[in-house]
Structure 1
Amino acid sequence: MSTAITAVTYVLIFGIVILACAIDLLHNRKPPNKYPFKFIFRRFLNWFTVGLTYACTYFGRYNMSMLNTPDVHASLGVSPTQFGVVITVAYFVYAICVVINGFVVDRIGGKTASVIGSFGSSIMNLLMGIFLLFTQIKGAGNVAILCLMYSLNEFCQSFCTTAICKVGVYWYHMSERGIFGGIFGIIISFGFFLALQVNANIKSQFHYSAIFFIPSVMLSIFSLLCVFFVRATPDDAGFPAVDEEIQQEQEENRRQQRENQQSQYIIQNQGEYSQGSSSTSAFIINSNSTSDQFQSLNQKEETSSLMKKIGSESKQDYGMPIKEVGKRILGNKVFFVLALIDFCVGWCRDGVINNMAMYFKMRWDASEDSTLFNLASTGLTVGSMFGSLVCGIVSDLFFHSRRPPVAFLSLSLYFICILITFFAQKAWIATLSISMTAFCFSGVHGIITSSAAMDFAGARATATATAWLISLMPASVIGALLVLPIIKEKGGKKPNQKSDNQSNAKDTEVDQFNLLYKDGQNSDQTGIQGSIEQSNDTSSTDHLIPMIKK
């Protein structure tokens, strides 16, 4: 890839990120949600830090997909199927852990969860890089070790997945969350750029283990930035809540915490005085001291803001009991509609991402450092960015903050784009259609797993709702991985196939098509079409088998 194209690509990507920042800083200055600039800037610093942290988790998550190439398979002594086991097992772990950790994130808050997830993922990427750099193992041993490490990495990243929504729900009003989801989606899609294009460039210049070392460093840096710059709620930063419902929840939460502290203090001191003294006067003295302690507790609450300024999150419970969470989420019919949509999005999104490198290598003979692959990676990133922004704006402005209609339109367009990708006879058409698929699935992912989850679940159950929705995405990918071999096996068999002679004849015709198709990629396509027309005993569907296998 030429230096000029690389420079243009990087300028384009970073320019879109700057555009997202400008939109957030400017659109909040207008009614009906006109905030003071001090609040707007503090909110921008908050989501920008969390957004880049999550982008770096993509940097350290999809790097494993960049190893899904024949040269790495040969180096590790594994087959494509064995390497697929590593990704599949990790998806199982992620699907399970994200459900559990969603409730945990609701209790500990978005800031703490983001720090835990990013730092943990940093450690696991470091360990995977060291292993791949020095390993002398071949075959199944590599599969087992990588399964363990990559699964632990997915466990850590499951904290960050829901943390971004947990932070956003407190800082953005419901009427802003569609556009916020779009702007935030641009920052998240920046992670695709890091995961696909930057990792591909790193792999082409260094040993493939480097695509784990560099994300590890980035994740460590941003975990520290989260500690010092991110606040879980506006209240932690000294601002009022943006939503009356959230403000009432916070006040109720603080009231319950004060009552619990007072009850615990009374119980502890009653126990001490019942053991040491039986006089009434002693108990009266103790009661007076108790009231003094209540005053000191209030003073401690006022001075706790000093600790918040240096990055210490207030010790409060941001969630609710799990029974109430389940009732709020599962009792809402909207959740099941969103769950079905997210299941489809998972199949679509990760199917494109995990197989894009192999698709361009085997279909167009384009390696990770080729111009074609880098253009496709750039298109994937740009498409993801604009997909999130457009879907968010359309949802808020044209559908009155309703998310499912936009999801339906996006998935319908995705179906058309994936058909174009499958039947594309020109490389530039395939590249453009890949970009449009990213536009579609990123837009749906943004408004469903962030905006919609925040809308119907409320602030104290946002992380759990997001986690339950996101867990369906790896589950759908697992289903795709299990079903795909069956499709490949059954797709080439005719229902009325009876004799061995017919089977051998069909195999001969398919072999002839393979040879002609391979030669035809660099020559006139009319020869292929003519050979297909001469095949009178085989249907047109059978001649697509080589393309399906590729």
Structure 2
Amino acid sequence: MSEIAKKYPPGFRPRRGLNWFLIGLLYASFYTCRYNFRWATPGMVAEFGFSKFQITSMLSAWALAYGTGQLINGLLTDRIGGKKAMLIGAVGTIAINLVYGFASLISTFATFSLIWLINGYVQSFGAPGMIKMNAAWFHRTERGTFAGIFGFMIQLGQFAINNLAPVILAGFTVGMLVVAQGDWRWLFRIPPLITAAAAILLAIFVKQTPEEAGHPNVIEHAGETAGAAVTTSIRESFVTIFTHPLVWFYAIAYACTGAVRNSSDQLAILYFVEQLKLNMEAKPPAVFWTMNLMPLVAVIGSFSAGIISDKVFKGHRSPVAMGLYFLETIVILVAAVVIMSGMVGPTPAGLFLGCLFLVLISLTANSTHAIVGTAAPMDIGGRKMAGFASGVIDSFQYYGAAIALPATGWLIDKYGWGVWYPTMASFGAIGGCSMLLVMRKQKRMTAAGDSRALSR
């Protein structure tokens, strides 16, 4: 047992586990109200004739609002606290999804884009709130591991919608409630109920800090005393994080994670329908296994990357992230060559290869997601400023997606699905180079005696 684990008082670890579980449950429920969109895309295309460019533009609007919201709400979270931030996000997410699900009388591209843009903004309260609260409960050398474990909770949201959505699209009857087959609007009416239940549990049981839960002076943070306040002024948070010498390298790398992760996640269902010729209403096994394996391998990748960065690299995130970005690039390039050869298509072998590559991309992209997007902001911001550190870094994940998605959609409309993977590969390479620059910068900072080099 580590020295850190030995010093924890009786009752601390179970209380932290309860906190961690309920925060993760609410954040996972946000995913059910986010990834429901991808299951609705074939229905919206069939009903309204939307092009891939229009679908990806709606997703881009969501990503742009989410990224900007990360910056604004990250600052706000450091002021009001993580618990209030997550609850504000939950209420907004519930309301906006219900609006989307009942917006049948004014169903236009502009209307759907605006509603989904607002959903992006309100959901952006979630990540800063989650990261800020967890920063107060975990020591720096635990954060990578627990970021990986937390990735499991997050992916439960994907797992839930991946299994709930086919049931909704297949249609069902419960008492007087009748959900017609293929009625995609119910994808936005049922998941908010999950978010509502999770929000109630968080409001009742979650504490923002160990001190609030009766465990003072347990977690110490670099540059802070144990038990220090977890809120700070907007000015202090803004200046400290914006001038941090490492934060922008992580932000650029995370933009590349967002470009790959959102592209592979959000376009997967359209890819199944158009390239692999699968019928979603028939609940094809290939889709079931692929969409559930993607979050499963994401958990394995996140957990493994977190442990390796904590235990092998002693809390250093950049070497692990750099290796993952370059591995991701290699995987995508191999996939691109195979797809261009014509081997991927509506045949047993073609289906297997098409699904396999999506699973492998999910593994590599989500491994960087955990350590760059969750552990690094906690290292940089500490318990006082983790909200804004998360906001800055995470915002770039969605700015990357906002740029990449419509560009990818336009390219697919014009040249076909063969351009999808090469587009993603370029972002993986840029992410790896950004992490290489972080490592070089840290060496210079360490040589100069800059304590901020510990934020790795």
1:224 aligns with 2:224: no
Residue 98 and residue 41 in structure 1: after superposition, are their counterparts in 2 closer, same or farther (change >3 A)?
Answer: same
2:46 maps to which residue? 74
Match of 1:151 among 105, 114, 117: 117
Residue 486 and residue 190 in structure 1: after superposition, are their counterparts in 2 closer, same or farther (change >3 A)?
Answer: closer
Q: Give the letter aligned to residue 107 of structure 1.
A: R
Residue 469 and residue 370 in structure 1: after superposition, are their counterparts in 2 closer, same or farther (change >3 A)?
Answer: same
Mean Cα displacement is larger for which, 195-204 or 38-47? 195-204
CA contact (8 A) 1:379 1:434 kept: no
**C-alpha distance in structure 2 between counterparts of 1:186 and 1:546, whole Å:** 30
Match of 1:54 among 27, 48, 53: 27
CA positional deviation for 1:449: 1.4
1:174 aligns with 2:140: yes
Q: Give the letter aligned to residue 323 of structure 1.
A: R
1:405 aligns with 2:319: yes
**C-alpha distance in structure 2 between counterparts of 1:214 and 1:486, whole Å:** 32
1:427 aligns with 2:337: no
Residue 237 and residue 30 in structure 1: after superposition, are their counterparts in 2 closer, same or farther (change >3 A)?
Answer: same
Matches within 5 A, 1:65-144: 65-69=38-42, 71-131=43-103, 135-137=104-106, 141-144=107-110
CA contact (8 A) 1:420 1:433 kept: no
1:360 aligns with 2:360: no
2:365 maps to which residue? 441
Deviations 1:417-442 (A, max 9, x none): 22343325232223222112111111
Matches within 5 A, 1:302-321: 318-321=230-233
CA positional deviation for 1:481: 3.1
CA contact (8 A) 2:98 2:192 kept: yes
CA contact (8 A) 2:151 2:370 kept: yes
**C-alpha distance in structure 1 between counterparts of 2:159 and 2:87, whole Å:** 22
Residue 246 and residue 409 in structure 1: after superposition, are their counterparts in 2 closer, same or farther (change >3 A)?
Answer: closer
CA positional deviation for 1:65: 1.9
SS at match of 1:41: helix
- Give unpaired runs (5+ residues) of structure 1: 1-28, 254-317, 492-544
Deviations 1:430-477 (A, max 9, x none): 322211211111111111111111112121110101011111111111
CA contact (8 A) 2:76 2:234 kept: no
**C-alpha distance in structure 2 between counterparts of 1:148 and 1:187, whole Å:** 29
2:284 maps to which residue? 370
1:547 maps to which residue? 418
SS at match of 1:326: helix
Count of residue pairs the alignment pairs up: 398
The structure, 1 or 2, with the larger RCO (C-alpha pairs under 8 Å, 6+ apart) is 2
2:390 maps to which residue? 466
Q: Give the letter aligned to residue 154 of structure 1.
A: G
C-alpha RMSD of matched pairs (Å): 2.3
**C-alpha distance in structure 2 between counterparts of 1:77 and 1:485, whole Å:** 14
CA contact (8 A) 1:171 1:241 kept: no
TM-score, reference length from structure 2:
0.81
Which has the greater radius of gyration? Answer: 1
CA contact (8 A) 2:100 2:188 kept: yes
Deviations 1:369-410 (A, max 9, x none): 211111110110111110110000110111111001111111
Matches within 5 A, 1:493-512: none
2:304 maps to which residue? 390
**C-alpha distance in structure 1 between counterparts of 2:100 and 2:274, whole Å:** 27
CA positional deviation for 1:353: 0.7
Residue 487 and residue 80 in structure 1: after superposition, are their counterparts in 2 closer, same or farther (change >3 A)?
Answer: closer
1:342 maps to which residue? 254
Residue 66 and residue 241 in structure 1: after superposition, are their counterparts in 2 closer, same or farther (change >3 A)?
Answer: farther
SS at match of 2:275: helix
CA contact (8 A) 1:52 1:187 kept: yes
Match of 1:381 among 295, 299, 310: 295
Q: Give the letter aligned to residue 222 of structure 1.
A: A
Matches within 5 A, 1:252-271: 253=229
Residue 488 and residue 92 in structure 1: after superposition, are their counterparts in 2 closer, same or farther (change >3 A)?
Answer: same
- Give unpaired runs (5+ residues) of structure 2: 172-178, 344-349, 422-456
Q: Give the letter aligned to residue 78 of structure 2.
A: D
SS at match of 2:316: coil
CA positional deviation for 1:32: 3.2
Match of 2:12 among 29, 34, 39: 39
1:322 aligns with 2:217: no
Deviations 1:203-246 (A, max 9, x none): 23342122112211111111111111110001111112433348
Residue 92 and residue 247 in structure 1: after superposition, are their counterparts in 2 closer, same or farther (change >3 A)?
Answer: closer
CA positional deviation for 1:484: 3.2
Match of 1:455 among 358, 379, 386: 379
CA positional deviation for 1:101: 0.5
**C-alpha distance in structure 1 between counterparts of 2:150 and 2:417, whole Å:** 40
CA contact (8 A) 1:341 1:407 kept: no
1:310 maps to which residue? none
**C-alpha distance in structure 1 between counterparts of 2:65 and 2:382, whole Å:** 27
**C-alpha distance in structure 2 between counterparts of 1:146 and 1:202, whole Å:** 20
Deviations 1:118-162 (A, max 9, x none): 12211211222222xxx245xxx5222222222222221111121
Q: Which runs of 4+ in 1 moved over 4 A?
A: 246-253, 485-491
